[in-house]
Amino acid sequence: MSGAYDPRAIANLILDEADRRGFKITNLALQKLLYFAHGIYLTKTKKPLVSGYFEAWQHGPVHPSVYRAFKHGGSAPIATRAVKQDPLTGRTQDLPTPDDIAVIDIVSDVMRFYGPMSTGRLVDLSHAKDAPWSAVVDKARTNVAFGMRISDNVILERFQHHKVSLHANPRAGEPNDDAPFA
């Protein structure tokens, strides 16, 4: 997994692109946008975009460290950026902004295509039958699934199952926050 970015740095890049495009996004929407950027990058390069892992939560894939970085805002649109904390001094520092053009292009493409979608539409898309989230949730119904992790191998095998819904209204409605499965 060397070369993978801190997921909070990619989240900040997504938020900057959202601001540039005039979008306001919540933590729930950010989670889906980060997941789609990671999945697209992973399928194109066979390398992970972000370090760590995604988990299958009620409303789709969630990166726990990014969720924690922005959960203080609740369901309101995000107005801050994630920072890192020095474990020895406790001081916070800005995260480095990725400057790899391939990464910037993926984020720009994700925001152009998925950014205008409602949160409910993003949740519907992340819940696609046979896609990674669905596969993990279905497996958990019959087997033990520790932490409901969505591995990069599962994403590579199943990401192509994501399809944009043509339904007039999102099946999930318009949720405003997420939670792990109980």
Residues 103-120: tens digit of each pLDDT: 999 999 999 999 999 999
In a domain, 1, yes or no: no
State how far the Cα of 37 lies from the Cα of 14, in Å rounded to an integer.
Answer: 9
pLDDT of residue 180: 64
Q: What is the pLDDT of residues 59-95, one digit of tens each?
A: 999 999 999 999 998 999 999 999 998 888 889 999 9
Give the confidence band of 1 by pLDDT, cuts at 50, 70, 90.
very low
> Nearest-5° angle of CA 120, CA 121, CA 124?
90
Count of structural domains, the chain: 1
Mean pLDDT of 40-54: 96
Provide the Cα torsion 51, 162, 153, 36; round to 10°: -10
Q: What is the pLDDT of residues 133-174, one digit of tens each?
A: 999 998 887 776 666 899 999 999 999 877 655 555 655 555
In a domain, 119, yes or no: yes
In contact, 116 and 138? CB cutoff 8 Å: no
In a domain, 152, yes or no: yes
In a domain, 182, yes or no: no
pLDDT of residue 168: 53
pLDDT of residue 104: 97
pLDDT of residue 161: 79
Out of 11-20, 33-42, 89-98, 141-150, least confident range: 141-150
In a domain, 166, yes or no: no
State how far the Cα of 98 lies from the Cα of 117, in Å rounded to an integer.
Answer: 25
In a domain, 179, yes or no: no
Would you put residue 59 in left (φ > 0), alpha (ψ -120 to 50) or beta? alpha
For residue 24, CA distances in Å to 34, 43, 148 come to 15, 27, 29
Q: How high does pLDDT run on average in the chain?
A: 88
Which residues of the chain form beta strands (DSSP E)? 54-57, 60-62, 83-85, 92-94, 149-150
In a domain, 64, yes or no: yes
Q: Which domain holds residue 116?
A: 7-161
Burial of 64 per CB tally in 10 Å (0-12, 13-18, 19+): middle
In a domain, 144, yes or no: yes
